[in-house]
Each structure stands twice: as C-alpha cells, then as structure tokens.
Amino acid sequence: MGLFITLTSRTATLLTTPSQNFSKEFNVVQVGLNFKALRLRCNLTQFYVAYKLNISQNVHSKCELGETKLSLRVIYELADISETAAEEFVRILIAEQY
C-alpha cells in the first residue's frame, strides 16, 4: 500500500492511494513532535541527523517545532537513518501522539 501526502500551511492530508477516498488531515506541529520523539528513541542527535540530511541544525530544529514541513526526500532519508521502513515512519509521524 502506498502513501501519498498533500501539504498546506499548517495541515497535511494523507491518502493511502491517489484514487482512494480515505484521507486524514494532521497537524504539522504534531508531526514535528513525533519526529523529535522518534529521533530521541533512536538515540540520534539533531546535529547527526542534520549532517546526514545535509541541512543545518537550525532547519532540523524548525522541522521538529513544526515551523518547517518535511519534504518527501527528507522523510525517506529519515526513515533510512532511523532504520525504519518508510511507510511505518510516515505512520509514526502522523500519529496523534507518539
């Protein structure tokens, strides 16, 4: 099953397939909090993750605060860094609380 995400300013919508009617809106700030929780669970520092993503630590921090949205490239790379399957990683990110 594929996952497709559309983003707006403070919410995002997840579709399980492009033609499927099921969708879920979720809060970008909660995505950032879940991102941080997953990073901490994996015992990774902001500096290390930012280095692996080739972004500044400041940009990384803004992602965790929900001030900057995660691109699909970043999501897939984060899944790889955390040794988590991409679909599972997205499910963790959009959980109401992780």
Structural domain includes residue 16: no
Q: What is the pLDDT of residue 48?
A: 95
Q: Judge whether 11 lies within some domain.
A: no
Q: What is the pLDDT of residue 1?
A: 44
Q: Is 49 part of any domain?
A: yes
Domain total of the chain: 1
State which amino acid sits at residue 7.
Answer: L
Angle between helices 86-94 and 28-41 (to 10 degrees): 120
In a domain, 38, yes or no: yes
| pLDDT means over runs of 10, the chain (98 residues) | 50 52 64 88 93 92 84 84 85 74
Rounded Cα gap, residues 74 and 69, in angstroms? 10
Q: Residue 26: what pLDDT?
A: 63
The answer to whether the CB of 78 falls within 8 A of the CB of 86 is no
Distance from CA of residue 34 to its chain's centroid?
A: 8
| Structural domain for 45, as ranges | 27-94
Q: Where residue 67 sits, what CATH number does that domain have?
A: 1.10.260.40
